[in-house]
Amino acid sequence: MRKIVAQLFISLDGVVETPHEWHFPYFNDEMGTAVDAVLGRTDTLLLGRETYDSFAGAWPEREAAGGEDAPFAKILGDTRKIVVSSRQLEFTWRNSEQLQGDLVPAVTALKKEGDGTVAVSGSVSVVRQLLAAGLLDELNLLVHPIAVRKGMRLFDEGDAPLPLRLVSSETFETGVLNLVYAPAEPAGEATYDDARTHLSGSGQ
């Protein structure tokens, strides 16, 4: 069964909107390696329409230009790209198709297509729905040491908590934290009385 892995650039205060306006000063070789480990090593990308439009508006031209990022642009072009949208789309970027049907049952079927990884980049609405449905296997957050203070945040208001467990962590030279989470069981109930035994001077 395939894994569904989402990777997002995120600020210290949880903003994920328009990362191109604030994250480039923190992009170094370490982050490039982290991005390549997800986007460059998958055969399928699952993207929301806005993220797809952003990719399709830049990467084909970069591939054609033949610059230093052309090899990565070619990898993205060769990768199967499945786009989530409520309206019918037409594509000019190769290997692009539209997700058929509702997101949750369609992604459930996609997970059963074989082995490997389906990568989600950006696409906040898609990530939220996959998390809520229990379909996201890993959430890779590249946490930037900046408070953007405006814009859409990853986690919106909801009725139920989303418990996660930390799978791995890494600190880049720029101060970016590369954090990988997976779904977890609820932590259970506790009170201050349970917590205070761990405070300094508690006698425990």
137-160 pLDDT, tens digit each: 999 999 999 999 999 999 988 778
172 falls within a domain: yes
Q: 166 vs 140, 148, 156, 179, 183, CA distance in Å?
A: 10, 24, 20, 7, 9
Tell me whether strands 80-84 and 138-144 are parallel, antiparallel or unpaired: unpaired
Provide the residue count of the chain: 204
SS3 173: coil
Helix (H, G, I), strand (E, B) or coil at 42: coil
Q: Would residue 72 count as lying in a domain?
A: yes
203 located within any domain: no
CA angle centred on 110, ends 105 and 113, rounded to 5°: 135
pLDDT of residue 198: 87
Judge whether 171 lies within some domain. Answer: yes
List pLDDT tens digits, range 21-62.
999 999 999 999 999 999 998 999 999 999 999 999 999 999
Q: Is the pLDDT of residue 204 over 60?
A: no
Contact 120/83 with Cβ under 8 angstroms?
Answer: no
Q: Are 2 and 136 in contact (CB under 8 A)?
A: no
Q: What is the pLDDT of residue 203?
A: 55
Q: Is residue 201 part of a domain?
A: no
| Structural domain total, the chain | 1
CATH code at position 25: 3.40.430.10
Q: Which domain holds residue 122?
A: 3-196
